[in-house]
Amino acid sequence: MSRLAELFDRTRGEGRAALVGYLPAGFPSVPGGVAAMRAMVDAGVDVLEVGLPYSDPLMDGPVIQRAAEIALAGRTTTHDVLATVEQVATSGAPTLVMTYWNPVERFGVDAFAAALAKAGGAGVITPDLVPDEAGPWLAAVDAAGVDPVFLVAPSSTPERIALVAAACRGFVYAASTMGVTGVREVVSVQAHDLVARVRAATTIPVCVGLGVSTGDQAAEVASYADGVIVGSAFVRCILEAPDEAAGVRAAAELAGELAEGVRRPARSG
């Protein structure tokens, strides 16, 4: 059983959803990002997503784009991303990399999967890679013992959902809305229906991302999903902080609020 599978078994046993927190590696600096992610775990984040900064992030909204720009201006490399994984994975939280496909292909498909496994990574989310075109990647992560995670969206057909779910291990990433990432006042009403449609196709966990930024929103999503993914809200609180230390504290405070949200009673689904 993979580390992600063990984690979701535990959170299901506790009658709650898992909290998944995202930050790009190298933001606000490489050591600052590591410190923030460790603080997030200490405050209640169950799973970490380490973003690989990329110059053409098609899915990311302006907040995460700005963080990626800062990381790239600081000359963050793929090796820095792997070093970040190695350091934060010792926190005990299963740690994934979220990356666009081009950096993986440039690094080497087999080499990236093997290097991530060596660093202690539990999985990889590839938002712009579809399972139909992922044969070599699926072989590489299978050999490395790393969980591949793909995305479904509200527009996904039942056939597409079944195909994506069959290729995923760890969890299925359900994008709650069409469009780019970003904090929203209200989580999309389409998310509940999407989770139900994914569950009709698979028994592995379903995590909802895009838009969650408060404890109340986390509680809402946690009432029907297996995991709540939060990225832009963590990035924003660090961007708005006057210095790295304050950013770490702000990320920890937000993690505590979100962790309380996913632990509220009355899960329904």
Set 46, 60, 80, 220: catalytic member: 60
Instruction: Give dist(CA 69, CA 56) in Å, integer.
Output: 10
Find the catalytic residue in 6, 9, 14, 49.
49
What Å distances lie between residue 192 and 3, 169, 170, 182, 252, CA to CA? 26, 21, 20, 19, 28
Between helix 244-262 and helix 215-222 the angle, nearest 10°, is 40
Cα separation, 209 vs 175, in Å, equals: 5
Cα–Cα distance for residue pair 99/4, rounded to 1 Å = 18
For residue 175, give the 3-state DSSP assignment: strand
What secondary structure does DSSP assign to 201-245, as a single string? T-SS-EEEESS--SHHHHHHHHTT-SEEEE-HHHHHHHHTSSSHH
226 is catalytic: no
Based on the residue annotation, tell me whether 60 is a catalytic residue of this protein: yes
Record the tokens describing residue 23, joined without a space. 């930050």
Classify residue 52 by its DSSP letter. -
Half-sphere exposure in the Cβ direction for 269 (13 Å, CA): 23
Distance (Å, rounded) from C-alpha 47 to C-alpha 92? Answer: 9
Structure tokens at 157: 């057909």
Dig out the tokens for 235 from the structure. Answer: 């990035």
39 membership: H or E segment, kind and range: helix 30-42
The residues annotated with a catalytic role in the active site are 49, 60
